[in-house]
Structure 1
Amino acid sequence: MSQHDRFKEGVVCYKNGQYDKAIEHFTEALLSNGDQYNIYDSRAAAFEKLGDIKAALLNAKKVIDLAPERWQGYARSARLFHDLKKIPHAARMVQLALERIKPEDSQRRTELERLQASIAESQARADAQLRKTACHIGMLPVEILAEIFALDVTPNAGRAITLSHVCKFWRRLASENPTLWRTLVLSDRQPERKLQTWLERSSCNIHSLHLTDRLPHHQYGSLMGALDKLQWERLRSFTLTCSDACGIVIRLSNGKHNFFSDLEEFEVSSTRFSDKRLEELLPQSLRAFTLNECLILTGDGGLWQHVTRLSSLTLRSSTLDIRAVLEGNPLLENVTISGGIIPHESIVPQPLSLDRLCHLDIQDCGNISRLLDQLTAPALRTVRFVGNPLDSSHLLALFPDRLTELTELRLGRCSLQAFDVIRILRNSPSLITLEVSTVYDCVNKILDFLSGSSSEKSQESLLPCPALQHVDVSRCTDLKTGPVIRFVKSRKVVLDDSEADEGSSLDSLRLDGCPDFQADCLPWLRKQIKVVSCVYMTKKQAKTVKR
């Protein structure tokens, strides 16, 4: 049988669906008379019908090699690549086929154009899916990705471990980036192993160290030995909330000179120090000092002649010579005092001005009035006095005639006189937040003043505190409905004025725990103000009343 007869037999078998026999005949035809592109193309079609895509592609490639000017090999390759979802290859093949087909062969051109359109649709779907599932962050330069990691780790040092568990690439990047391991917090969760990991990955260059109160006491010895490897001169922040904080500091320093040479933040809890010991430990570079339930014993040391650059001071239920701290640190910007009683020997005997003090927060602190009487702070921006046994007249010494910087004033659970508060408000044109809570017999007068309807109305503007946005008068049991309505209406007038600033509108109003305020007015209030809270009592209080 000739090569031509074998080819014809293969075509008949193909048309009858006998693809295996067709392939046998096509193969015999190729063996009997060399290479012919149409035989390879026919055999590729038979392999395609049988689902043997790889063999079909090999035969289609042979067609292209034998007849690169013909369109058949490219067209079949395009269909096969499309079936394999290799869309870019399919698009390339169909384009080559269209370039080679004759213009007058409109039927096959139309078929190829439909195939091209189908390939384009598949490409569009693939692109859409890629956009949904692609790891775009993996395409970032390593330097940018490292910066993103650093931002993620900043609020929670333990996130460095989480990042290193995502994939091999992230693990390598995180492990080789020392900046991610410069904050170390030791608690009861495998502290020795964690310490070793952080020391290795930070190259012993820890910038922030926190020993928590959950740190097991029996592991102090082994941990102290490992901590000796730290480059202590590079430590910037040291927090001790564990037991025996004083003993730990003494053991770590071990008589070393300039142990904390560049320390900027120091926080300690539940211990006692002598000022002489602190003078030996703390450097002049210290910027933030925090005590929690601590006692600093005053001796003959010159601690506050040595530490004179504090910008932040926080005392929580702690006792120390506050007068010496304030006099020795004129650059203070933030002062927070909560709990405890200021010793009599700490009372400021003469006027003291803190020209840079911006934030002052005093809560539940005894004997505070004699300190305030001699203290002035012209640059105050936020002030909070809560639960202090003082009269509002003692606050006036703090404030100069004009408080252009004051934006937040919070007063609560103390003895207030409406006249004194009004005097402060009259001189505070930039005030944004006002809280007067848990006081009696003054809040109605204050609201009337702010609405411009009282005899204390400011002479310099139509309304006092024109930038006021947030007001909280919660738990003022004598609050009446009238002053609130007049106050809100007055601010509504300012809001409707075309020349008024955007900040003149009220954004929030809290009236919680004010039983005399009429609930019928709440719908109107909520139309005027974005956020209105008026909770008359908690569920627990309501159950008590029912009983």
Structure 2
Amino acid sequence: MSAKKAFNRGVTSFKAKEYDKALEYFTEAIREGLEGPQVYDSRAAVYEKQGRKKEALLDSKKVIDLYPKSWQGYARSARLFSQLGKYQSARTMIEMALELSDSIDGKRRCELETLWTSVEAELARRQQKRLEESKNRDYFGQLPVEIAVSIYKLVVEEDHASVVTLSQVCQRWRRVIVSTPSLWSTLSLSYKKPRAKAKLWKIRSQGKLTTLNLRNASEVLRALEDLHDVSLTSLRSLTVDQLKWQDVTSALPHLTRSILDNLETITLTRVDFSLGTHSTPLWLHDTAGLNLHHLIVEASLVDWTNVANHSNRLLRLSSEGLLRRHIPDLIWLLHQNGSLEELQLQFSPLHSLEPDAPPRQLPAQIQLHQLVTLELSGHDRSAHLVLSHLMLPNLRNIKFTRLGYLLDGCLQHLLKGKCVLKLESLAILYGDPTEQTLIELLEAASQLTVLKLSHMSNLGSVLDALTRTPSAAEGDVNGLICPKLTSVDFSGSPGVSDGPIVRLVKGRNPAISPKNDEEMAGINKTPPVARLLTLVIDACEKIEPNILPWLRQQVPRVSCIYATKQQARWKR
């Protein structure tokens, strides 16, 4: 049978709804080499009638591939895609078919336009449905449980109490959070329902507490009775605030010496270590090789000799109320902990009636290469005595408070030891060093970004130095001192007035275009001066209100509070 004859018989069979025969004839016509879009389109029509839409699409694609200028392949593909629910593809096919509008008769064109309308309506309906579903869709709930728990842990690390809030968001979150003991590993007991909290955390942590914070309250010790059978083998951080140590150990029999030896963080605030009438200070450890990394002691009388002898892994040391007789032990402790990163010491001017600690053979210099933060406060000369032993080549942050006449000596020691070359933050509160010493330190601190000079009686020369551009004859090639300075705080300093502040802002925020800035940097080889972002001039009475609008235009964050509410009320 010839190809043409087979095609004609296929058409006859199709009209007679004999689709199986029509399929055989059209296939035979294609096999015999009949060309033209009609034969493939006709076979696609048969497949469509038989419900074989994928085969129909393949033939329609064949029409498009062989005869791209024929509209039939696009029109049938559009209809098939629409039937399959692929409306985006259907719209594309309709657009391509309508581009061949010259070869489409009126009836076919009307059918395509009707199909276009229905496809557009369905696409719009689906888009609206997606928008509505997206409002209520729980994307977080689709995460694997392991990833969700990791996110919960990040939140709980910032605030351990947030675990309760998280567990109340929805049932799915609650199931995961309640069944994850590690999220309940931090327990803080204070005045607010300590007994109920202790019982709940004991169950949900499965007894695997890593952090225990105990703060003074009448119910806290009774709440600890509910934890008497918890092993505490996982405990790594302990905070005791205004409680008697003997009462804590009696309520927690499992808080043994071995548990204490494995602690990484200990925080003691006004802890009473005495035993009855015996007031000799005690210490928690008497063995070497402790795992202690963070030690914070506030107004607690501890045995610093034992601390110095048994601690050599400290990363942070913070103590408030140190007495002069503790200084040899403290210096030895610093010598034993070369990896120390943060040191905060507040010295007490009071003299203890207790005998002095045994004398030690102290090193002349202690190199603390890892120390980045140093905070010293107190009028006692012990601050300068301790600092005189320290060499701090990588110091980043300094805060000195109420050091009195010792402040000059501390600053000069840092200068001589070249400890300020990497300094990024300097805060001096309630102190009056000589201006020349302070200026020399600022000239050396080229990396300084934050400067706080609060409650200082005379800052005139310092402000002039911060706004003065040294001449080339002076040998300075870096322009303004502290070129990276972005935040200054002169609060409570009575000598600060309008003129120096205005010059400071103008010098730190030069009105130079990026092009000119690049040219200047290329010519002078000087680094650009950082823009001043924060200016604090609270309680500076010589600052006139009329310059504040201009200051706020130049500096993003300006604070100028003339007086506290209590001071203002007294003046009225």
Partner Cα separation in structure 2 for residue 542 and residue 127 of structure 1: 58
Residue 393 of structure 1: how far off its partner (Å) = 1.7
Q: Does 1:268 align with 2:271?
A: no
Residue number among 353, 356, 361 corresponding to 2:366 in the alignment: 353
Measured in 2, the distance between the counterparts of 1:513 and 1:458 equals: 37
State the one-letter code of the partner of 1:481.
D
Closer/same/farther in 2, CA of residues 540 and 165 from structure 1, 3 Å limit = closer
Which stretches in structure 1 are left out of the alignment for 5+ residues? 1-66, 70-89
Residues 126, 220 of structure 1: CA spacing in aligned structure 2 closer, same or farther, 3 A cutoff?
A: closer
Q: Does 1:229 align with 2:233?
A: no
Find the residue that maps to 2:405 and give its secondary structure: coil
Rounded Cα–Cα distance in structure 1 between residues aligned with 2:530 and 2:330: 39
* Distance across 2 between alignment mates of 1:221 and 1:490: 60
Q: Say yes or no: does 1:309 pair with 2:326.
A: no
Looking at structure 1, the residues matched to 296 and 186 of structure 2 have their Cα atoms a distance apart, in angstroms, of 18
Q: 1:397 aligns with which of 406, 413, 417?
A: 413
The one-letter amino acid paired with 1:286 is: L
Q: 1:502 to 1:136 in 2, by over 3 A?
A: farther
Other structure's SS at 1:380 match: coil
SS in 2 for 1:324: helix
Asked if 1:525 corresponds to 2:551, the answer is yes
Deviation digits for residues 323-367 of structure 1 (CA, Å, limit 9, x no counterpart):
313322333221123463376968997634342321111234534
Distance of 1:270 and 1:371 partners within structure 2: 24
Q: Please say if residues 481 and 518 of structure 1, whose CA atoms lie closer than 8 Å, have aligned partners that are also in contact.
A: yes
Q: Match for residue 446 of structure 1?
A: 462
Contact 2:314 2:340 (8 Å CA) reproduced: yes
- SS for the counterpart of 1:258 is helix
Contact 1:470 1:508 in 2 (8 A): yes
Alignment of 1:366-445 (within 5 A): 366-367=380-381, 368-395=383-410, 396-399=412-415, 400-401=417-418, 403-441=420-458, 443-445=459-461
Counterpart residue type for residue 307 of structure 1 = S
Match of residue 561, structure 2, among 506, 528, 535: 535
Q: Distance in 2 between matches of 1:423 and 1:494?
A: 28
- 1:327 to 2:332 alignment: yes
Look up the equivalent residue of 1:296 and give its one-letter code: V
> In the alignment, is the contact (CA less than 8 A) between 1:275 and 1:303 conserved in 2?
no
| 2:399 partner SS | strand
- Over the residues paired in the alignment, what is the CA RMSD in angstroms? 3.8
Does structure 2 retain, via aligned residues, the 8 Å contact 1:272–1:294? yes
Aligned residue runs from structure 1 range 92-491, under 5 A = 92=84, 113-214=116-217, 216-217=219-220, 219=222, 222-225=225-228, 228-232=229-233, 234-249=234-249, 252=252, 256-273=256-273, 277-280=283-286, 284-297=290-303, 302-317=306-321, 319=323, 321-328=326-333, 329-338=337-346, 340-341=348-349, 351-355=364-368, 356-364=370-378, 366-367=380-381, 368-395=383-410, 396-399=412-415, 400-401=417-418, 403-441=420-458, 443-452=459-468, 459=476, 461-491=478-508
- Looking at structure 2, the residues matched to 215 and 182 of structure 1 have their Cα atoms a distance apart, in angstroms, of 23
- Residues paired across the two proteins, number: 455
Identity fraction in percent? 24
* Paired residues of 1:215 and 1:242 also in contact (CA < 8 A): no
Moved over 6 A (4+): 105-109, 346-350, 454-458
Deviations 1:234-284 (A, max 9, x none): 221111125213431466367945222421100112124466532238961
Shift of 1:307: 0.9
Q: Is the 8 A contact 2:240 2:271 kept in 1?
A: no
Q: How does 1:16-27 map to 2 (within 5 A)?
A: none
Structure 1-normalised TM-score? 0.72
Contact 2:230 2:254 in 1 (8 A): no
Rounded to whole Å, the distance in 2 between the matches of 1:459 and 1:402 is 21
Could you tell me how far apart the structure 1 residues matched to 2:434 and 2:565 are?
32
Gaps of 5+ in 2: 1-48, 52-81, 94-104, 274-279
Sort the Cα spacing of 1:231 and 1:535 in 2 relative to 1 into closer, same or farther, 3 A: closer
> Would you say the 8 A contact 1:264–1:286 is kept in 2?
yes
**Shift of residue 437, structure 1, vs aligned partner:** 1.5
Task: Assess, with a 3 A threshold, how the Cα gap between structure 1 residues 92 and 325 changes in structure 2: closer, same or farther.
Answer: same
Deviation at 1:381, TM superposition (A): 0.8
Residues 159 and 392 (structure 1 numbering): CA distance in 2 closer, same or farther, change over 3 Å? Answer: closer
